[in-house]
Amino acid sequence: MTECCRRRRVPQVSMPEAVRIAYEEGPKWINCFGRAAGFMTTCVLVFGQFLLCTVYLVFVSKNFKEIGDHYIERYNERYYVLAACLLLLPLFMIRRLKYLVPLNLISNFLLYAGFALIMYYLFNGLPNINDREMATPPVEWIEFIAIAAFSLTAVGSMLVVEAHMAHPQSYLGLFGVLNLAVLFILLSNMFFGIIGYWRFGDSVHASITLNIPQDEILSQFIKVFIATGIFLSYPLNGFVVITVMFSDYENSEPRGRYRTLIEYVVRLVFLFLTGAVAIGVPNLAALTELEGAFSLSNLNLLCPALIDMFLNYNVGYGRLMWKLIRDILLMLIGLIFGTVGCTVAIMQLIRDFQLTLNSM
């Protein structure tokens, strides 16, 4: 994308714009597909963020349901999804990124506080490590990779944050903001994955917060902290969708008189559509797997590989065509991983939706 900016002499481009430029810089026979490819990339970005926000709603509802079941009656989880949507409504109507910054600071504080407190349950009563299986059948590895990839697929958020930074040059580089953030996420995932499985074994849930007790004050604080932190991060991830959908519209002149009204309507529809999907298929593991497989394969593998391959078409692929070989391998991995991961997740979601229909 930086190379696209250099060639077109513009300060920044979005990922859909980068895909369009790459197609225009590639072989002549694909130049005409640039606009269509850019539009498809926009659709992928929007759908990926849609799945991400749906996962957040399911996560929040499951954790607050456990607290509600302890203190109140056992209401259906879907009522908690609806309540979360209603509470999110005023927050999601915020139209300026700078006003979302305080929400995300509070969100990060609550998440880290919850992570620190949950150590008590993770390290209290650790069994002998030899009681746990050290490996699972290879067929389950795809599911694991898809769920783990969920934490690394926020390409939309990455791009929006970079575009609004006061010093975007600090974002990239070996010790840039992006690399340090991803490194922290990887180490966190490794820690919670290893310790969580060591502590709870095969009974570990899609979220470690669902394994801690329901009736203890400390565990309830942990659930509230982490669920509220995720709840407050929903507006930023939804903001990405609005930015992607309205970027071309905002750049057109003159601006439409009803642009603000249309944006509010889109925000409202997006919020309640994510709520509807969360109500229909509240399977946290399957939704997380689908989002991880779909976004990682498309936004982290296929799109970057295509952009790089077409941009290097006229300048060469290096010694022994190593750049072309790398890009083709990335695309193959993306296609295989995306196809298998999405198929497994969709099959599970279809079964869950059928159960939902039967219970109505």
CA dihedral 323, 327, 329, 330 (to 10 degrees): 140
Is residue 87 classed as helix, strand or coil in its secondary structure?
helix
Tokens of 27: 């072989």
| Chain segment 9-41, per-residue pLDDT in tens | 887 788 888 899 999 999 999 999 999 998 998
**Residue that has been written with the tokens 């497989």 in this structure:** 293
Average pLDDT of span 279-293: 85
Is residue 72 classed as helix, strand or coil in its secondary structure?
coil
Calpha distance 349→310 (Å, rounded) = 36
At residue 172, the pLDDT reads: 76
| Chain segment 96-143, per-residue pLDDT in tens | 888 888 888 899 899 989 989 999 998 988 888 888 888 888 777 877
Least confident range from 247-251, 278-282, 339-343, 355-359: namely 247-251
Least confident range from 179-188, 190-199, 222-231: namely 179-188
Residue 251 predicted with pLDDT over 60: no
Least confident range from 182-191, 272-281, 309-318: namely 182-191
Q: What are the boundaries of each domain within the chain?
A: 1-280
Cβ(302)–Cβ(335) below 8 Å: yes
At residue 275, the pLDDT reads: 94
| Chain segment 53-82, per-residue pLDDT in tens | 999 999 999 989 988 888 888 888 889 999
At residue 297, the pLDDT reads: 86
**Residue that has been written with the tokens 């022994």 in this structure:** 320
At residue 49, the pLDDT reads: 87
CA 4 to chain centre: 25
Report yes or no on whether pTM surpasses 0.85. Answer: no
Between 50 and 153, the more confident residue is 50
Cβ(241)–Cβ(46) below 8 Å: yes
Between 73 and 154, the more confident residue is 73
Q: Residue 358: which pLDDT band, with cuts at 50, 70 and 90? A: confident
At residue 215, the pLDDT reads: 82
Residue 196 predicted with pLDDT over 60: yes
Between 328 and 78, the more confident residue is 328
